[in-house]
Each structure stands twice: as C-alpha cells, then as structure tokens.
Structure 1
Amino acid sequence: MTSICFKNSLLLLCFVSLCSSSLVFSLDVDAEILIRVKNAMLDDPNGNLSDWVETTDQNPCKWTGITCDSQNNQSVVSIDLSGFGISGGFPTGFCRIWTLQNLSLADNFFNGTLTYRAVSPCSHLHALILAGNVFVGELPDFLQDFDNLLVLDLSRNNFTGDIPASYGRLQSLKVLCLAANLLSGSIPWFLTNLSELTRLELAYNPFKPSPLPKDIGNLSKLENLFLASTNLNGEIPDSIGKLWSLYNLDLSNNFITGKIPVSISQLKSIEQIELFNNQLYGELPESLSNLTSLLKFDASQNNLTGNLPEKIAAMQLQSLNLNDNHFTGEIPEVLALNPNLSELKIFNNSFTGKLPANLGRYSDLENFDVSTNNFSGELPQYLCHRNKLQTVITFRNRFSGSLPETLSECSSLNYVRIADNELSGPVPIKFWGLHTFLLELSNNKFEGPISPSISGARGLTRLLISGNNFSGKLPAEMCELHEVIEINLGRNQFEGELPSCITELKKLQKLDMQENMFSGEIPSSVGSLRDLTELNLSRNRLCGKIPPGLGNLPVLTCLDLSDNLLIGEIPMELTKLKLNEFNVSDNRLYGKVPSIFTNALYLPSLLGNPDLCSPDFKPLPPCSKPEPATLYTVAILAICVLIFVGSLIWFFKAKTLFVRKPKPPYKVTAFQRVGFTEEDIFPLLTKQNLIGSGGSGQVYKVTLKTGQIVAVKRLRGGTQKPETESAFRSEVETLGRVRHGNIVKLLMCCSGEEFRILAYEYMVNGSLGDVLHGEKGGGLLNWPRRFAVALGAAQGLAYLHHDCVPPIVHRDVKSNNILLDEQMRPKVADFGLAKTLQSEVGESDVAMSRIAGSYGYIAPEYAYTLKVTEKSDVYSFGVVLMELITGKRPIDSCFGENKDIVKWVTEATLSSLPEQASENDSGTCCTGDHLKEIIDPKMDQSTCNFEEIEKVLNVALLCTSAFPINRPSMRRVVELLKDQKFARPKYDAYENC
C-alpha cells in the first residue's frame, strides 16, 4: 500500500512539475513575442516600454501595459498601451499570444492601412480598441472565426468607404464604435442583425444621406445609440420605441424630418434624448411625460410648434433645451417645482406671459436663457436661491420692474445679458461687484450711478450699459478693470470729467461714451491705449484740444468727437490713422484742415466748425486772401486746359483698355472717404501696372495723380458670369460693412454690364504667402514679427466671427489672403468666397454644391459636408500658423507621400508628448532641440523665443484638430496667443467612445 501511495505521489509531482514548466515556457514565449514586436514595429519616443527587456527570469506580467490572468498570473490576457505616444503600423504580432483577449492601442499614432490579413491572427480577441490613431483606407473585414469578439472600437481615425458586410455577422458583438472617421457609404441595415449590441456609435461620419434603418428596434439590448452628424434624413421610425434598454439617444445635427414619434415615450430606461439641429416639426408629444428616467431633453433648433405641455414641464429633468423653435403660450408654473432643474434654455421662441415666480427656488439652477421671446412681468427673484446660478440671459423681452436684489448676492454669477427690456430703478450696489466677465444691461430704464463696488469685478471683459438713465460721475474704481476690452456707456446721463486713469486699461479695444454730459478735456494720455479700435465721445460737453496722441493709436479705425466744445486745430498726427469713420463736426475747431481730410466725403465730418479753413477745398473758407483777378483768371484757364488734355488721354487709354467702352450707366459705390473717382482709375489699368493675375481676374497697382497708391482688382466677366458676380457681391457685401484694423479696406467699387472693379488700400509688402515662400522673406526673418502677424490675423478673423452681425465666415483663409502693409501689419483680404452664417440657413444645396477654399487649407469635414461653419476658418488659420513656424507651404513633397503640413507637423511634434499631462500641466509638447528641427531655418535663431513658438505650435495643433468640436473659437485663439501661461492643450477632448 505504501509503495502504491509513493508511486501515485511521484506521478502527481511529475505532473505538477510538467505543468509548471509548461506555464513558464508559455510566459517565456509571450515575453519573446512582446520584445520582438516592440523592437521591430514600434516607435516609443517617450520610453514607456523601457521595462520590456529580455532577462534571465523575465516575467512580462510585471511589464508596463501587460495584464496576466488573475488566477495563476501565468498567461498574458491583456495589452493596453493607450495614450503612450507610440507610432508604427498595426502590430499584428501581438495576436500571436494565444491567451490574449484584449488589445487596446487607443490614442497613439499608429498609421497605415488595416487589412484583413493584418487582423486575421487576432480572431481569438474579445476586445480590439484602436480609437484615436491615424489609420487610413477602408475598414478591415472580419470574415470568419471572430466569434469571440465583443468590443470593436475603431473610432477617431481616418477610415473611408463603406462599413463591410462582414460586420453584420459578428453575432457576439456588444460594442461597435466607428465614430469620427470619414466613412461615406450609407448606414447599413444589416447592423440591426447584431442582437447583442449594447453600444452603437457611428457619429461624425459623412455617410450618404439616408434614413435611420426602420428595423432599429431589433437591437433590444442597445443602451447607447450615438448617430450625431451622420446625414440622417427621413422620419424617426416607430420601432425606436422597442429599444427598452436605451439610456442615451443622440440623433442630433442631422436632417431628420417629421414629428417626434409617440413611440419614443416607450423608452422606459432613457436618461438622455438629443434631437437638436434637425428639421422636426409639430408639437411635443405629451406622452413624453411617461419617461420617468429622463434627465436631459434637447429638441432645440428645429421647427417645433405649440405650447410646452404642463405634464412635460412637470418632469424631473436636469436640463430642458427647446431654444430656436416656434413655441408659443405661457410657461406652466409647475416647471418651477422641479427639484432637479439646472439648465433651462428656451430662447428664440414666441413664449409669452410671466415666468414662474419660483424658478430656482427648489433646484440648483445654473444656466438660464429665455432671451428673444415675449415674456413680461418681473424677473423671478429666486433664480440664484441655491447660489449655483452662472448665466442669466433675458435680452429682447418685455420684462419690467427692478433688478432682483437677490441677484446681487449671487457669487456664482459670471455672465449677465438682460438688455432690451423695460427694467428700471437703480442697480443694487453689490451687483456691480459680482465676478462677471460680461455685464450687459443696455436699453432698459435703469437709473442712478455706477457703484464704486465695480472694482470687485476684476475679470470683467465687457461692460455694456448704453441706452439707460444712469447718471453721476464715473467712479475711479472703474480703472481697476484691467481685463476689460469693451466699455459702452452711451446714451445715458453721466457727467463730470473723464477719469484720467481710464487710460490704464491697456486691453481696451472699444470705448463708447456718446450722448452723455461729460465735461473737461480728453485725457492727453489716451494715446497709450494701443489696442483701441473705436473711440466715440460724441454729443457731450468736452472741451480743450484734440490730443495729438490719438494719432499714435496703431489700430484705431473709428473716431467720433462730434458735437462737443473742442477747440484748436485738427492735429496733423491724425493723418497717420487709417480711419473708416471720422467725425469732428459741431465743435469750435479752427485753422487749416489737413489735406487728407479735404474732400467731399469728409465734408459732413467737418461742418459746424466755422473757423476751419482750406486753401483749395471750396466748401470751407480759404485760409489766405485770394489772388488778384488777373492771376485768378489765368489759373482758371490753365486748369481748364489741363482738364481738357487729361480727358483726351483718359478717353484713348480707356478705349484701348476695355476694347468697348463700358456702356453707361454703371454703378459706383464708395465705402471710404476717397479723393479719386472711377475716371481716375480706368486709364491706369494697363499691362504695365499689372501685379497679379488669378482665376477670378487681374490685380493692378495704381498710382493716382494725387500720389495715393491703391490696389485695383478687375474681375473677369460681368453679369453674364455667375461666379464673377457671386465673388463681386460677396466682397462688396462683406468688406463694405466691416471695420477693423486687421481687415483690408475696400475703398470703392464700380460695376458695369461687362466689368466689375474693386479698389482697395494698397499693401506694400504683398501677401504673407509671398513673403514666406517667395523672394520677400527678408521682411519676416525674426520671430517677433511672425508672432505679430499671427496675432493680428487672428484678431481680424475673430472680429469676423464674433463682432459682426451676422457673423462672417471667410472660407478661404490662407497665407496668400493675408496682406502686409509697410509696417508688416497683417490684414485679412479676398472675401470672394465669404458667407454670412445667417444667410446660409436658407440657402439651397446648389449654392453650396462645390468645395470652396484652397487645397491644403480645407478642413476635413468641410470637404465632405459642404457645411459652412466658423470652425473651417479656424482649421485654415491653424495651417497658416504652421506655415509661419516652419516656412513651408501646406503641400510640399518633402513631407512624404499623402502628407500635408498638418500631418507632418503633428507627427514631428506630438511624438514627444509626456506620458501623462493634466489639464493644468505646464509641460512642453516638445523640447527646444526638437523645435529647431521644424522651425524655418531662414529665421534668425537669436530672435527665436522657443517657449513662444511652442505656444503658437500648440494653438496650431488645436486649430487643426480633426474634429470641429475640439477646435477653439477664434476669440479663444486670440486669448491663447496672448496668454503667457498657455503651454499645452488638453488633447483628445472627444470622449464619446
């Protein structure tokens, strides 16, 4: 018996030893595979895989990114290298580890195509996650043996084409995420066969317009359906109501029509419904109130009508967004009883009546926007009862009464817009000192003074209180608002002297104090406001002389000092300004008017000053005694002869130029005060003056007889050529109304039956593209000048996007359309493709049936959606920033095959990102040595501030993000360029998958 037991024990010991040896051998093989793949296929610039090394007792279970089974820790089951900054092709060798179940390579720089041959060894995987890389080409097929695959995430890459039919046969699949690619086929019906799916995320792809598959209800286990921006059309199918497990439904930013189906009220697990920016119509189904789990409902930007049903208002929603529809009627009182309500946005509708008095009393209300409706009565006094309120937006209603005292205790409030109402009484003292960054009270009936407590609003950027009955003197504490960029106090009853310390507000861009009772002199130090673009002090009681320092303001374009008590001469220093608006009328000025202002267009701006004079501008009295009659007669005769000879010269030259003389009448429009006419221009449009020629026409440098130089663009064709007419109208309608120091000035236009002519201010140094890539590089050999160009151009675009009403999208931002004056100051030009966002809403598909822009600058989403947004300009501007840094053109053979400057710069810089970086981390994205490899070698290295170059580079990378949602606004771009602390953005903010 003992012998038998000994034999059995010996056999058991041998078996255990054999198994242990087998497991150790297996780990050795896995380690060998991992090291081989690392060395042969991966580029690990940050050294995150430095512990993947061959040793005598190697155990890959302890290596970075490796997870082994939890029972005996003797086999590799997971490889997770997410966010390591690794590049290379798809490492198919990892899949030779037969125990591997999960492979995640998300948020790296893996590239190339992904074929079936590459993925076929991975058929035993449970999860394959490749999101956030730069794979291209068509999606890989999964033809057979992928029975175990549960999670497939290929989102945020550059895959194109159709979704392969093989995806419809992955019967075990629970998660399919293909969002944010360039897929262009239709959303296939066969995906509704994947009955185990819990997540289907296809958003942000340029699919062919098609309806949501009618059998979508077959996916009864679906929890997340994310189909935003996928070109869906047609109606929402009734089968949507069968998705009983669904908690998130996002069909936003599509072209869905019809009514919201009643069946949607059967989604018993739903927590969030996003239907905004579609073409839905009809009323809200009252049965939505059955959705007891619903927390967020957004049906904004549709064509919905009717009232807000009381049952829906009584739901326990956290956010209710119904803005930009056609709703009418009153808001039910029961809405205020919701204890969960934190966001209410119902602006741009036709709601009427009073708001529920208890709004905010029982919930943590944070965002409140009821603007542009027909509400009346008082503002609810409990809006900030829980002290969580951040935004109050009520403009364009008929609210009356006083500002609630409770708002003055609202320490959380940072954004206030309550303009264009009938509110009255004094503003509470503490309200002035709230930590808001925008305070807009314009066009109400407020009264009383500005409280000195305004000094507490240190972060205030815009103070807009025009059109009220405010009075008293301006408190000196206003001078402590060092972040303010716009102050508008116009049309009030302020009095006293202008505080001299106001010139300490160095970021101030717009100052409007018109129609008050200010007295005293204009501070002589006003010339220190270097960012000032608009100054309006008209209709006050200001006295003294016009400060010559005004002529030193580099970007001042609008100056109105009319209807005051100013004396003295018009300073010659003002002739240095490039003003779009100038008015000194109705003062007590005297002396000789500078010659630049002596033409008919400036005459209304000079009237009301009886003692102003000019020797040769007849509407004004002469400054000296007239010559004797004989000499006077001789002079008149000489002038007549000159006019006659000049007319003959013009006639023959114009006849040669136009072949057939333009048939009058032709239309002339002047947008600035100019000292020339179209007759002065026509004879000079000759071959000798031609300085440029393109697809739309020719550009001439014209030196007028006055010595003034202008640039004249002559467009090819006339009314018979639609594209010429479109470009001409776009230039005229855009540049004719914009005024900014970084936007080129359109001086005049002339249109006849067979020609279109535009005259601009002449930019001595040509375009930024010429300077960077041509023979004029000597003007931008130092970095500070390039940075100044970047900032100025950004300010011009920010003006178009944020300060113009309606906003303007340029659509052809590029270095050749940024011109440089004699001081290398940039001005955005060529608005032939520009569009106003407002006009796009009603435009037909024909108007947008072609891609506008220039190759290398076009944002990826614009190329396939043809939708005009300001974010397409942001992308193009990011390309310009990369040009400024590298000195290279957007498309260059040195980048390699199928690469443009964006891909080249991205690969060259982001590969050295630190492993982890918090949002507030000030670490750099690349070292100074690394930067030297990409910056323009023509630049003087001694002038290169590498920290600043890095900042601009990071802004460029943000601007050229593949996803528009991740790109900053142009206003934010300006802030980032100015921000001394900005170092690195938070990458990959897109986290839907």
Structure 2
Amino acid sequence: MNFLSKNWMIPIWILSSLIVVLEPTEAIRTYPPLSSIADPVLPTEKKPPFSRIPTDNEAHSPGVSEIKVVHHEDLNTTILIALIIASTLLAAILLFLFCFWIFKQKNTEPLNINKPPKGQDSSKGLSLGPILDKFTPTRITTGRKGSATVIDYEWLISATNDFHEDHIVRVDSSGHIYKARFNDHFVAAVKRLHGRGPDTQRGFENAVDWLGKLKHQNIINLLGYCIHDENRFLVYEMMHQGSLESQLHGPSHGSALTWHRRMKVALDIARGLEYLHERCNPPVIHRDLKSSNILLDSNFNAKISDFGLATTEFHVKNKVKLSGASGYVAPEYLSDGKLTDKSDVYAFGVILLELLIGKRPVEKMSPSLFQSIVTWAVPQLTDRSKLPNIVDPVIRDTMDLKHLYQVAAVAVLCVQPEPSYRPLITDVLHSFIPLVPVELGGSLRA
C-alpha cells in the first residue's frame, strides 16, 4: 500500500493546481444586484457628449454589468469542465492503481496450500495440480497454485495393478513405494504410508503442505496425493535409481557410484539444503535427512524427499517432539531437544561419511553392541596416513588424494558435537563445486 499512497499525491497535486489557477478573483465573484441588468444599454445607443445626472430610467449601470455577467458565466463553465476532467482523471488513476495493487497482491502471495481435511476422501476432490498435462483431466481435481494434484483412488488401483507386490520398488520406514504406470508414456512412484494413527496423518499433511510449496531441482517433485478411507498415498516423480541407501548398502554395494558421482550426490544434497536454509522464508529444517530419503534419478541426480517432519525456525521456538533416524540425529537435539539448521548439517555430515566409507550410520557389532560411524571414523579421518585405508573399497585409489583430504575435513566439521563449530550449508556447497566435473554440474575440469 506504500506504493499506492505515494501515487495518490500526483492526481491531488494536479487537481489543486487547477483549482488555484482557475479560481476567480473577489471582483469577479461579486454578483451584481438583479436591478443592475434590468435595463442594459443597447449596442446602437450613443453616449451623450457631456456628463449629466442620470434620470430614474437611466439610473442603472449601462453595459459594465452585462460584461461581468457574461465573463463570470464563461469562467464558471471553464471551472466546471476542468473539475470534471480532473475528477475523471483522478478516478481513472485511482482505479488503475487499485487494480495494479490487486494484481501485485495475487502474484506476490506466498505459496500455501489448504491441508486435506482429516477423514475426508480426497479422491472426491480437494485442491490443485502443477503438472496437469501429465494426468487425465477427468481423474484429478484442480485448485490453487502451489498445491499438489488430488488423484482418483481408482486410478492408483489401475496404475499399480491393485498395489500388487510385483510393483513394489522399495520399502522404507514410512511406507511401501510402488511403480505406477498411468499410461504408455508416464510412470510415477506411489508411496503407501504405513500406519493410520494421528502421527501418520500429521506426517502426510506436512509432506503435502511442504512439497506443494517447495520447488527446486534437488527437492523431490510431488505430483499428487490421495486419501481413501484410512489410507494415505503420495505420488512422486519416478526416481529410477532408487535411494542412496539402497545404492550404498544394497546388493550392488555402491558399485554404480564412482567417486565423481558420489561428489555429485553430495553437491546436490548441499544445494537442496542451501535452498531450504537460505532461500526459504522462514528457513526450513528438514529434520529427517538420511540416505534413504535421498533419491536418485536415472542420471544419478540426487533429490531430497520425505518432508513429513520438516518444520521452520519459527515453530522450533516451541518444544518439538524428538524424532529422526538413529545415527543421523544431532547430539544437541538428542540431549536437549535443541533443533536448528545445524542439525541438518550434522545429518549431511553423516551421509558424507557413508559416501566416503561405505558403512551404515550405525553398525551392529553384536546382538547388544552397536557402533556409530561418527565415533569410529572421525579419529581416522584426521589422520592422513589412515584415511585412504578406511575409504570404501569400491572407490579406493580412484580419486585425487587432495580431494579426499578436503572431503574428509568437511565431513569432520559437519559432525562436530558443538553446533557453532559446524559450517553453514552455503560454505559446504561452495567447497564441493570445485570437486565435481563441469559436465556433472561442478567446476572441475579434466
């Protein structure tokens, strides 16, 4: 409204100027008595050559009053026309500014979506879709910009062959992920969430809310969602290489992840976190960053997924419930419930250790003994003579040792027990760009 209030000064100044210029003098504004125009002198009459006392019939002023009246009427007409023009111009300018303000308000409104009402079957329609061209219009419900598409439940049944086990591509702690073929040219991933309690409902609503607003190349793209009875479904873009966890700790044991691909994955995660921490207002804390929530597309581009626990620094001021995967939770959050963006940086450091060493965050040493990768690795990461020996055998001796030392140093900083000693994710991001080849999105040249 500051813009609008400033622009009102222009038409008001113009109107004031017109009124001042066109305002009649006191002499002209003085109306003559009616009797003074009762007997005007005709133009053909001649004045006497000498002065004389006027008679009663000639007592009234002969032509001067007439001239004044005609001039006064012309001036009134001019003022009236000027006022009409100025008022019309003022109204037009105000109408234009009002319309412009409404337009700006609509286009600068922060993205937000209406969370699906609890217990409502969203297959009957709720809100909108950012990729309507990917779905048949009769099977979705459209709505406001920034939300996700509501997808018909029967369509999910058809695309997954009634959620047949042959369509399961992976299983994680929060649900089963199915490959869904909607037509011959479009395939997506459907996540069927585990559980039906309030925690599942809140996580589902949170994921739909955040992923409907967050748009970045390293954040998973939520295509739609569905609520059917007590079941909750999230539909994502298909990530053909699965999760980072399955690549590192699955049957292939990271064989498809070369050194440069691992650095590319780390760079992608850092870019996604930098978007959440530095470019979102208010900053977003993922709160559940782990290798199973890092998904890889067919070209091994990494994207952060699963925003069921995401929150903002504003909400962190209140007490937040302790949650997160074992091995990734920052010490201060675990002990005191203190949650900041540096908690995500700690989790990033743990993922970086996985990429370097190839071990899980928590290794089971015996039925009752578990070992943290941070506790085991950090002392050796700072010893250059030992570091090459603990690197994942799949990538051992395939990298420049200077680059290895640099990555190890970043990992050690990220997992520091004291949050203030950890770097900002922006600094981490800039440290990885020179380690990734140009063709993979970095600045390293052969």
Q: TM-score range by the shorter chain?
A: 0.5 to 0.7
Q: Distance in 2 between matches of 1:901 and 1:673?
A: 44
The number of equivalent residue pairs is: 300
* Alignment of 1:881 onto 2:357: no
Match of 1:672 among 113, 131, 155: 131
Whole-angstrom distance in 1 between the partners of 2:388 and 2:248: 18
User: Secondary structure of 1:806's match?
Assistant: coil
User: Quick one: which of 952, 958, 963 aligns to 2:407?
Assistant: 952
Give the CA deviation at 1:773.
0.9
Residue 903 (structure 1) aligns with:
375
Q: Which one of the candidate residues 425, 429, 433 is aligned to 1:970?
A: 425
- Equivalent of residue 212 in structure 2, options 736, 750, 754: 736
Name the structure 1 match of 2:392: 936
Deviation at 1:734, TM superposition (A): 1.1
Matched with 2:232 is 756
More strand by share: 1
Match of 1:294 in 2: none
Structure 2 distance, partners of 1:866, 1:907, is 27
Over 3 Å counting, the alpha-carbon distance change for 1:944 and 1:682 in structure 2 is same
Q: Is the 8 A contact 2:268 2:303 kept in 1?
A: yes
CA offsets per residue over residues 759-816 of structure 1, 9 Å max, x none? Answer: 1001000011111111134553421111111111111111111111221111111111
Counterparts of 1:745 and 1:753, CA distance in 2: 25
Does structure 1 retain, via aligned residues, the 8 Å contact 2:254–2:358? no
Highest CA radius of gyration, 1 or 2? 2
2:381/2:409 contact within 8 Å kept: no
Q: Which residue is 2:193 aligned to?
A: 715
Contact 2:388 2:396 in 1 (8 A): no
Q: CA–CA distance in 2 between the matches of 1:778 and 1:891?
A: 17
Q: Is the 8 A contact 1:780 1:786 kept in 2?
A: no
- Cα 1:979–1:938 change in 2 (3 A) is closer
Q: State the match for 1:698 in structure 2.
A: 176
Aligned partner letter, 2:374: V
Measured against aligned partners, the alpha-carbon deviations of 1:286-322 in whole angstroms (never above 9, x if no partner) come to xxxxxxxxxxxxxxxxxxxxxxxxxxxxxxxxxxxxx
Residues 874-893 of structure 1: per-residue CA shift (max 9 Å, x gap): 00100000110001111124
- By how many angstroms is 1:899 displaced? 3.7
**Distance verdict in 2 for CA 1:702–1:668, change over 3 Å:** farther
CA distance in 2, matches of 1:907, 1:663: 52
Does the 8 A contact of 1:669 with 1:750 survive in 2?
A: no
For the Cα contact (< 8 Å) 2:172–2:292, is it kept in 1?
A: no
CA apart distance, 1:867 = 2.7
> Is contact 2:123-2:226 (8 Å) kept?
no
Number of the residue aligned with 2:50 = none
**Higher relative contact order at CA 8 Å, sep ≥6: structure 1 or structure 2?**
2
Q: Does the 8 A contact of 2:410 with 2:428 survive in 1?
A: yes
Change beyond 3 A, Cα 1:689–1:897: closer
2:361 alignment counterpart: 890
Counterpart secondary structure, 2:236: strand
> Residue 853 of structure 1 aligns with which residue?
324
Q: How does 1:752-831 map to 2 (within 5 A)?
A: 752-777=228-253, 780-831=256-307
Measured in 2, the distance between the counterparts of 1:696 and 1:778 equals 23
With structure 2 as the length reference, what TM-score do the two structures score?
0.62
Q: d(CA) in 2 for partners of 1:894 and 1:939? A: 24
Distance 1:664 1:855, change over 3 A: closer
C-alpha contact (below 8 Å) 1:667/1:750 kept by paired residues:
no
TM-score (norm. length: structure 1): 0.29
1:961 counterpart residue number: 416
In 1, distance between residues paired with 2:123 and 2:364?
A: 51
| Residue type at the aligned position of 1:833 | L
| 3-state SS of paired residue (2:177) | strand
2: CA distance, partners of 1:724 / 1:670: 23
**C-alpha distance in structure 2 between counterparts of 1:757 and 1:823, whole Å:** 26
Map of 1:834 onto structure 2: 310
SS at match of 2:376: helix
Pairwise CA RMSD: 2.7
| Aligned counterparts of 1:909 and 1:697: Cα–Cα separation in 2 | 35
Change (3 A) 1:717 1:752: farther
Counterpart amino acid of 1:933?
N
Aligned amino acid, residue 165 of structure 2 = K
Matches within 5 A, 1:111-510: none
Letter in 1 for 2:379: E
- Does structure 2 conserve the Cα–Cα contact (< 8 Å) formed by 1:781 and 1:940? no
Determine the C-alpha separation between the residues in 1 that align with 2:125 and 2:227.
6
Aligned match for 1:681, one of 151, 156, 181: 156
Structure 1: give runs of 5+ residues left out of the alignment: 1-395, 401-421, 423-661, 913-925, 981-993
Map Cα deviations across residues 578-617 of structure 1 (whole Å, 9 max, x no partner): xxxxxxxxxxxxxxxxxxxxxxxxxxxxxxxxxxxxxxxx
2:32 is matched with none
Please state how far the C-alpha of 1:691 moved relative to its aligned partner.
Answer: 2.4
Q: For the residues of structure 2 that align with 1:822 and 1:734, how far apart are their CA atoms?
A: 25
Secondary structure at 1:667 match in 2: coil
Does the 8 Å contact 2:189/2:235 carry over to 1? yes
Flag the 1:668–1:754 CA change in 2: closer, same or farther, 3 A.
farther
Change (3 A) 1:863 1:689: same
Post-superposition shift, 1:674? 4.3
Deviations 1:221-269 (A, max 9, x none): xxxxxxxxxxxxxxxxxxxxxxxxxxxxxxxxxxxxxxxxxxxxxxxxx
- Read off the aligned partner of 2:392 and give its amino acid letter: D
Query: Which residue identity does 1:974 align to in structure 2?
Result: L
- CA 1:878–1:663: 2 relative to 1, 3 Å: closer
The 1:885–1:894 alpha-carbon spacing in structure 2 relative to 1, beyond 3 Å, is farther
Partner of 1:355: none
Cα displacement (A) at 1:748: 1.0
* Whole-angstrom CA distance in 2 between matches of 1:761 and 1:826: 13
Q: Using the alignment, how far apart are the partners of 1:786 and 1:828 within structure 2?
A: 15
Change (3 A) 1:808 1:784: same
Following the alignment from structure 1 to structure 2, what is the Cα–Cα distance between the partners of residues 709 and 686? 16
- Paired letter, 2:126: K
Q: Deviations over 1:501-524 (max 9, x none)?
A: xxxxxxxxxxxxxxxxxxxxxxxx
Cα deviation, residue 940, structure 1: 5.6
Output the CA distance in 2 between the equivalents of 1:877 and 1:789.
Answer: 11
Residues of 2 paired with 1:979 and 1:965: CA distance? Answer: 25
Cα offset, 1:824, TM superposition: 0.7
- Summarize the Cα distance change of 1:940–1:909 in structure 2 as closer, same or farther, 3 Å threshold: closer
Bigger helix fraction: 2
Q: 2: CA distance between counterparts of 1:976 and 1:726?
A: 36
| Preserved contact between residue 667 and residue 752 of structure 1 (Cα < 8 Å) | no
Identity of aligned residues (%): 37
Separation of aligned partners in 2, 1:797 and 1:812: 12
> Structure 2 regions of 5+ residues with no counterpart?
7-120, 140-150, 436-446
Contact 2:285 2:310 in 1 (8 A): yes
Distance in 1 between the 2:271 and 2:387 partners? 26
Structure 1: distance between partners of 2:132 and 2:252: 32
In 2, are the aligned partners of 1:782 and 1:940 still within 8 Å (CA)?
Answer: no
* Residues 1:839 and 1:682: Cα distance change in structure 2 (over 3 Å): farther
Q: Summarize deviations over 1:468-491 as a string: whole Å, max 9, x none.
A: xxxxxxxxxxxxxxxxxxxxxxxx
Alpha-carbon distance in structure 2 between the residues aligned to 1:957 and 1:868: 20
Residue by residue over 1:53-89, the C-alpha shift from the partner in whole angstroms, topping out at 9 and shown as x without a partner, is xxxxxxxxxxxxxxxxxxxxxxxxxxxxxxxxxxxxx
What is the distance in 1 between the residues matched to 2:122 and 2:400? 58
The 3 A distance-change label for structure 1 pair 763 and 785 is: same
